Structure 1
Amino acid sequence: AVLPSFWGSSGLMLIVGGILYGVFLIFSGAGLLDGFLCFGFFGELIITWNAMSYLTAIKDYRGILLAFIAAIVVTFLTGWILLMTGIPHVEALLIAVSVGYGVMMVWDVALLYQYFPAGNVSAFFFLRWVDQFLPLAFTGLFINIGLFAHLVIMWMGPLQVKVQGLFVGAPYHDVPALIAFLTILVTTVNFVVSVEVNFYPKYRNYYSLFNDKGAIGDIKQAGKEMRKVLNMELKYTALKQLLTTALVISVGGILLEYLPLGFNDLMEGYFRTLCVGYGLYAVANTMLLLLLYFTDYKGALWSSGIFAAGTSVFTIISLFFPQVYYGFGFLAGCVAFFLFSVLRLDYYTKRLPYYILSVQPVVQEEKTGIFTELGYFLDKKLEGRQELEKI
């Protein structure tokens, strides 16, 4: 059912996203060629990013890395060749990025087909699981809103620079935000290679004792060991991110002055503030992922909702203050996200036996809703179309 769900979800996102983005492009003021390139690139992004989510299941990190390297090399070579031929810069670079992402898209899909069978399950069968795990869908939505809403709000503020038509930006804020965002790679990598590697065996052992009728004493001991490893790994993760953020703030500002990015005092202030904000986000997001490990979907939903609302509301409030304080809106939202995640994870892990044994429903519940109905509707439409093609 994996590949059908991939194409079903990709198709739905292409249709809904294509309509919305198409309407934007029509009124954006972009030329025909630029609009066509943007629209094609948008479609590639949907399929590629969706494929990346599926690729986490196969853990073929070598294949994923090669796909990224190939895309980067092709993008640079294509861009250089097109620029040398005299094609306008914007169109040349858009074509280059589209070609590079096209390579990565094909490569990623090929990896999926190597690992998963074609399957004869309906492409829209996955929609019923959206109803079953609806909090997960909203958690992902809120995390993305929290990450990107402050950028969009800044595009509407005093720092706005109009590129063309509806295409606007705030480079004085966007460039520091982009570089500050890169500082969380330390925590992202650390979660995969350290937290998951060291924590997961303890986590698996603890839950297997419940499933395999382990003794109460063994369960208590396994839970104690699991929480000890969890706290240790979180402490190390936070410490590594703290040291990285401090190093970048102290040294990064000096190095950025030598890069042709036009950094001034205002941008350096944004950079320092956003580095702290993204650092807090990285650690809080690690704790949110651990809440999902423990199936605390309600806690993860609240945590991500606070993050989305906090960064959005505080960023809007910051627009009423002098420009030097603009980055503090995102920082304040990250602080709220961090504090709630810490408290929720501590509260939940101390009561794990209760949530495992007492909160679960006695009888299995089959949750259905609007997404299940949408899946049935699309299945009937697809079956009707296939019957017409046979006739």
Structure 2
Amino acid sequence: MAGIGFELRRMLRKDSYLAEMSAYLYAAMVSSGPWLMSVLCLAVLGLYSYSGFSRHDQDIFRTTIVYVYAFTLIYVGYIQLVVTRYLADRFYLNDSKVTLTAFWTSAFLVLLAGGVIGGGAIWFFELALTYKIIAVELFLIVAMIWLAMIFLSAVKDFHSIVQAFAIGTAVSVGGAFFFYPFMGLDGYLLGYTVGQALIFFWLLARLLAEFPPAKVWDPKMLTYFIKYWELALIGFFFNLAIWVDKILFWFAPDSRMVVPYLRTHDMYEGPIFFAYLTIVPSLAIFLVKIETRFYEHYHDYFAKIIAKKELASIIEEKKGMITMLKESLREILIVQGSLTLVCLLLAPDFIAVAGLSPLQKPLFQIALVGALMQVMLSVAVIILFYFDLRKEVLAVTLVFFLSNSGLTWLSIQLGFTFYGFGYCYSCLISLMFAYYLVSKSVENLEYITFSSQPLA
């Protein structure tokens, strides 16, 4: 995403409040578009539903959307980082013509396995056959949106991404209202699916316009799953770690079965999802300012190594990179910490506006702290990725997954008073471990850099 970050940073040079606001809005959409738009859709459809649209139907629809986004993110995770690495390597060799070939190959893998997984999973839910078919189609479409986002970041076309999500979201809302009188709940989901399909085909059209026609199969890309097996595991388990606490709560004793076997947890889900929304500004700031500044130092550091500059010059560049990292982390902590503090103080008012129960206020507050640590964890992981420390990232990922699983299970056993603490302490443990690895890696960067090179 650093390439898009540089494009957005050019908007800041216009030195106007409108340009700065536009840059950060674009960054928010690029970094969190599918998630933000799905939340907006659910909010609008929940507020302005038909009078005949029962609470039970609303629960089925909302839970379906949550399941689709959760499991597509987990499912596509195994391919996202591998494809990103493959594209980065090919672009470094000025071989951008493989982009469409890689996309078609990836799409085949995602659709083939996704159709089997999605169809097999939803078959057990006691829902109408038409609804199941539409839900599987939505699952595949959203999975393809996640995949297309990787390739759109390669062309640095943030305008297309924003336009696609804005118009597609509007069509999802309008389509749900349009089809409901004719098809009931099936039509509601169909309308939403039509809007998501528009998003995907819009992104696909942009890809087809950017890159020349190519072959539909790329065997070289498949070798990357063996060569970079850590990336496949990281992508899968990191996304699973983010969702595992929600999944465990769906099977908690006080969870609710909407229909067999579609489950939800009313007390846990709402506060957690609203707390997640608070990290969007930090993600936007990271994309526009921090990652681009870090990349410049990172590029200069390795440029000096490649140019065989003297060691003192290389170490001096490393010191600049470390200074910049400390300043950047401090900036994120200030921005996210301030926002978290404001939300903590205004939690009672926010709970009332969001329509949550006053009983959920402590859970929302602990989730806010957890979200703060999760965004810091994500930054640490990205830094480790820049230094190609895949095994270290995999270790952090497994710590996050195992701790979130174990501590969430423990919080469920302890009761409602402890809800959210499992997720929060998991983020804390993972964050401490990640920053230990970052500190250790940066300190020994020269050794890691030179010792990792192949022998002449």
| Displacement of 1:87 | 4.1
Alpha-carbon displacement from aligned partner over 1:305-357 (angstroms, at most 9, x marks no partner): 11111111111111110212121111111011110111110110011100011
Structure 1 residue runs of 4 or more that deviate by more than 4 Å after TM superposition: none
Per the alignment, residue 34 of structure 1 pairs with: 131
Per the alignment, residue 63 of structure 1 pairs with: 160
Per the alignment, residue 83 of structure 2 pairs with: none
In the TM superposition, what are the counterparts of 1:205-224 in structure 2 within 5 Å? Answer: 205-224=300-319
In the TM superposition, what are the counterparts of 1:140-151 in structure 2 within 5 Å? Answer: 140-151=235-246
Specify which structure has the higher proportion of helix. 2
Amino acid at match of 2:170: V
Provide the secondary structure at the position in 2 that maps to 1:125.
helix
C-alpha separation between the residues in 2 aligned to 1:132 and 1:116? 26
Amino acid at match of 2:262: F
Per the alignment, residue 82 of structure 1 pairs with: 179
Q: In 1, are the aligned partners of 2:237 and 2:398 still within 8 Å (CA)?
A: yes
| Displacement of 1:213 | 1.4
| Displacement of 1:109 | 0.8
C-alpha separation between the residues in 2 aligned to 1:169 and 1:237? 33
Amino acid at match of 2:150: S
Q: In 1, are the aligned partners of 2:347 and 2:364 still within 8 Å (CA)?
A: no
Percent identity between the two aligned chains: 24
Per the alignment, residue 340 of structure 1 pairs with: 433
Amino acid at match of 2:171: V
C-alpha separation between the residues in 1 aligned to 2:104 and 2:348? 45
> Is residue 135 of structure 1 aligned with residue 230 of structure 2?
yes
> Is residue 304 of structure 1 aligned with residue 401 of structure 2?
no
C-alpha separation between the residues in 2 aligned to 1:324 and 1:124? 52
C-alpha separation between the residues in 1 aligned to 2:272 and 2:383? 26
Per the alignment, residue 386 of structure 2 pairs with: 293
Q: In 1, are the aligned partners of 2:351 and 2:358 still within 8 Å (CA)?
A: no
| Alignment equivalent of 2:353, drawn from 258, 261, 265 | 258
| Displacement of 1:256 | 2.7
Per the alignment, residue 112 of structure 1 pairs with: 207
In the TM superposition, what are the counterparts of 1:143-222 in structure 2 within 5 Å? Answer: 143-222=238-317
Q: In 1, are the aligned partners of 2:176 and 2:191 still within 8 Å (CA)?
A: yes
Which runs of 5 or more structure 1 residues have no equivalent in the other structure? 364-391
Cα RMSD for the two superposed structures: 1.5
C-alpha separation between the residues in 1 aligned to 2:308 and 2:340? 45
Q: TM-score, normalised by structure 1?
A: 0.88
Amino acid at match of 1:334: C
Provide the secondary structure at the position in 2 that maps to 1:56.
helix
C-alpha separation between the residues in 1 aligned to 2:425 and 2:291? 28
Provide the secondary structure at the position in 1 that maps to 2:263.
strand
Amino acid at match of 1:40: E
C-alpha separation between the residues in 1 aligned to 2:348 and 2:379? 27
Alpha-carbon displacement from aligned partner over 1:34-90 (angstroms, at most 9, x marks no partner): 11110111111111111012212111111110011111111122223234x3642x3
Amino acid at match of 2:258: V
Larger radius of gyration between Structure 1 and Structure 2: 1
Amino acid at match of 1:13: V
Q: In 2, are the aligned partners of 1:5 and 1:124 still within 8 Å (CA)?
A: no
Alpha-carbon displacement from aligned partner over 1:355-384 (angstroms, at most 9, x marks no partner): 011233326xxxxxxxxxxxxxxxxxxxxx
Provide the secondary structure at the position in 1 that maps to 2:254.
coil
C-alpha separation between the residues in 2 aligned to 1:46 and 1:197? 28
C-alpha separation between the residues in 2 aligned to 1:183 and 1:95? 30
Number of residues paired by the alignment?
359
| Displacement of 1:169 | 0.8
Which runs of 5 or more structure 2 residues have no equivalent in the other structure? 1-97
Amino acid at match of 2:115: G
C-alpha separation between the residues in 2 aligned to 1:285 and 1:150? 17
Provide the secondary structure at the position in 2 that maps to 1:27.
coil
| Displacement of 1:8 | 1.5
> Is residue 275 of structure 1 aligned with residue 344 of structure 2?
no
Alpha-carbon displacement from aligned partner over 1:279-298 (angstroms, at most 9, x marks no partner): 10111111100110111112
C-alpha separation between the residues in 1 aligned to 2:233 and 2:455? 26
Q: Aligned pair in 2 of structure 1 residues 86, 257: CA closer, same or farther (>3 Å)?
A: farther
Per the alignment, residue 240 of structure 1 pairs with: 335
| Displacement of 1:108 | 0.8
C-alpha separation between the residues in 1 aligned to 2:313 and 2:338? 38
C-alpha separation between the residues in 2 aligned to 1:21 and 1:82? 24
* 112-121 or 277-286: bigger deviation: 112-121
Provide the secondary structure at the position in 2 that maps to 1:320.
helix
In the TM superposition, what are the counterparts of 1:45-56 in structure 2 within 5 Å? Answer: 45-56=142-153
Provide the secondary structure at the position in 2 that maps to 1:108.
helix
Q: TM-score, normalised by structure 2?
A: 0.76
| Displacement of 1:158 | 2.1
* 191-200 or 65-74: bigger deviation: 191-200
| Displacement of 1:140 | 1.3
C-alpha separation between the residues in 2 aligned to 1:340 and 1:116? 41
Per the alignment, residue 373 of structure 1 pairs with: none
Per the alignment, residue 327 of structure 1 pairs with: 420
